[in-house]
Amino acid sequence: MSDPTCYTHTYNFFKKARSYRLTGSALTWMDEGEAGVKSLPYSDIKEVRLAYRPTRVQRNRYFAHIVPKSGKQIDITNTSFRGLGDFVEHNEAYSAFIRELHRRLVTMRTDATFHKGSSMLGYIGNMLLTIFIVAMVVLAFFLLTATGVVWIAVVKLAIIAFFVPTLYRFMKRSRPQDYDPRDIPDDALPA
């Protein structure tokens, strides 16, 4: 098992690997190829939001959004970029690191809040977008079948059907919820 106080991931092609460390009083990080260590004291963490954010090529991507009282949000994900459309998952190390961060925030008695999923506004937006997409798919199916190109309609529906389980999982896991940091919801971290 890996050390739960250390975690490294590469966010995307444009960013180098970032290594995080949990010290006695702060979340610290260092970017590959850059000098110096940046630090965020646990007492300066305002919010932790755990979110499931799949993409077409990363169907099991999770985020921990660390929001400081001032400054830029820190996004930690369970995947690392390896190449174009190629990501590796670090589920065990990511989950252990995030659980340890929660434990330290509880131990330090910070006033951080803990949320799972999207914000309420984001969730409503995702619901409206999903309804719109479903309506457009139904309309496209009827238009394509009415013009006699049924095979295109069937192929498009098959492609969309492939992503329906991911969409369902996303909508279920993105429902806004507050949680106790001593009891992280099962679906907030990768299995």
Question: Tens of pLDDT along the chain (191 residues)?
Answer: 578 899 999 877 778 899 999 999 999 999 988 888 999 999 999 999 999 888 777 778 999 999 999 989 999 999 988 878 778 889 999 999 999 999 999 998 889 999 999 888 999 998 898 889 888 888 888 888 888 888 887 887 888 778 788 778 878 888 999 999 999 998 899 98
Asked whether residue 175 is assigned to any structural domain, the reply reads no
According to the model, what pLDDT value does residue 144 have?
80
According to the model, what pLDDT value does residue 167 have?
79
Query: Whole-angstrom distance between the N-terminal and C-terminal Cα of the chain?
Result: 15
According to the model, what pLDDT value does residue 14 have?
74
| Structural domain containing residue 16 | 6-116
According to the model, what pLDDT value does residue 189 have?
93
DSSP-derived letter for residue 91 is H
Residues 100 and 17 in one domain: yes
Residues 83 and 130 in one domain: no
Residues 109 and 155 in one domain: no
Residues 165 and 85 in one domain: no
Closest by Cα among 1, 2, 191, 189 to 98: 189
Residues 72 and 99 in one domain: yes
Residues 76 and 146 in one domain: no
Residues 155 and 74 in one domain: no
According to the model, what pLDDT value does residue 1 have?
52
Asked whether residue 186 is assigned to any structural domain, the reply reads no
| Mode of pairing for the β-strands spanning 26-31 and 45-52 | unpaired
38 vs 40: CA distance, rounded Å: 7
According to the model, what pLDDT value does residue 178 have?
94
Q: How many domains does the chain have?
A: 2
Asked whether residue 159 is assigned to any structural domain, the reply reads yes
Q: How many helices (H) and strands (E) does the chain have?
A: 3, 11
State the CATH number of the domain containing residue 74: 2.30.29.30
The amino acid that residue 171 corresponds to is M
Asked whether residue 12 is assigned to any structural domain, the reply reads yes
Residues 140 and 112 in one domain: no
Contact yes or no for 182/102 (Cβ under 8 A): yes
